[in-house]
Amino acid sequence: LALLAGQVGRPGTDVHPLRGQNNLQGACDSGCLPDVLPGYRAGKAFVEISHVTAAHYGIADGQGLVRLRSRRGAIDVMPRISERVADGVVFVPFHFAEAAANILTNAEALDPEAKIPEYKVSTVRLERKE
């Protein structure tokens, strides 16, 4: 809007984001830097697990870090108990650099037609960190 209104670069005109939250898919909303705004809180890496899976592994919501391990690597993330995932399934957003979910995936397994790596699904082991 500032660009359309000719307000970019004029004295007294600052960036006024419509939203100040980070986008979990990789960027900051509205093209600004929300981390310089008062009250901004950056997101933290997490794994969503079901109530049943959490109970099976003795994991509590936000208890501390848990480890996800595959044949290709491991990451440590904060558990979030959620009804959004099925029992025996975990969900990790791939946005967070400190726990890059693609460490767990297989970049060599390509779709036979499109030749796109399989970055969305991987078998992992869930471990409590002591």
**Are both 38 and 67 inside the same structural domain?**
no
**Domain carrying residue 11:** 1-42
**Are both 52 and 104 inside the same structural domain?**
yes
Domain count, the chain: 2
Higher pLDDT, 54 or 98: 54
**Are both 108 and 120 inside the same structural domain?**
yes
What CATH code is carried by the domain that includes residue 85?
A: 2.40.40.20
Instruction: Check residue 129 and give its pLDDT.
Output: 86
**Are both 89 and 124 inside the same structural domain?**
yes
Distance CA 41, CA 19 (A): 13
pLDDT in tens, 14-30: 655 555 555 555 554 55
- Per the DSSP assignment, residues forming a β-bridge with 47 are 79
**Are both 54 and 99 inside the same structural domain?**
yes
Tokens standing for residue 85: 């995932």
**Are both 21 and 70 inside the same structural domain?**
no
Which whole-number Å values give the CA distances from 116 to 10, 42, 107, 123, in the listed order?
45, 31, 9, 18
How large is the average pLDDT for residues 83-111?
88
pLDDT grade for 12, boundaries at 50, 70 and 90: low
Instruction: Check residue 98 and give its pLDDT.
Output: 80
**Are both 55 and 92 inside the same structural domain?**
yes
pLDDT in tens, 35-67: 666 776 777 889 999 999 999 999 999 888 999
**Are both 73 and 25 inside the same structural domain?**
no
